[in-house]
Structure 1
């Protein structure tokens, strides 16, 4: 009878020991996943801080009229020497800012930050922030027709929603 009790105790202790080991392994696995997630999104604040810089570069680029972006198209007209010099400087500035924006976007992309231009897509409140609405008879209601600021994701997670204009129901 005592032997049976001892066998039962041994069995219970062995079971408790195995549960302890399993719990310990679960904690270890959970911790590993948390560390992995933390590492993956550690640059989130830094990346978010850079987004306004990208926007400002983009605004600077769009401020230069398209006909002044390339020297050859500007110089086909009868420009004075001073105007030619100004055009040279402006095209060089545009090229430099464009290259800077491009490199910054590439650097962000290498770290999992993707730029999203949702123009023409259906409005999604999880990925887009509606700034205004306007009826447009030739477009479907709920469709994005203007993008004020691009949206960005970090490894699929929304870093900043795109700021957009949405087609409203014509009434």
Structure 2
């Protein structure tokens, strides 16, 4: 198999993407650590739960939404549960499964932290882009995410834990 090396333009774009994503993630993590004492991943888990019906999701579905492995999610939810922000419950539909539910305290943390989080995202990313560039950014990343979600690149869907088919939601 012949290596398809990046062109000079692709290499510059790739390195700019890597630099920007690392700096953006660092800015978001610093703000969330300062305001809520948690990393971006934990905030994202709380946000995903806040948007779900009854503020709860099956753990496998939460792992998929968060794009993390089940074991990493289990660790994160255990920490959030210890802090009283999330609680785990048995799934009524499937005795082997469990759900994560956002507590009232977890919702209060989100509500208190969200304004600073949004301001950090805006100041770190969107304030530097025109309206047209925001549309282009969405189009570019939607296309990339769609191709990756369909297994259009390595690894295949079967090799990535959060892409595995999950069982139906608890009822």
Q: Shared fold by TM > 0.5? A: no
Higher share of residues assigned strand? 1
Question: Larger relative contact order (C-alpha < 8 A, sep ≥ 6)?
Answer: 2
Larger of the two Rg values belongs to structure: 1
- The two structures have a TM-score, normalised by structure 1, of 0.29
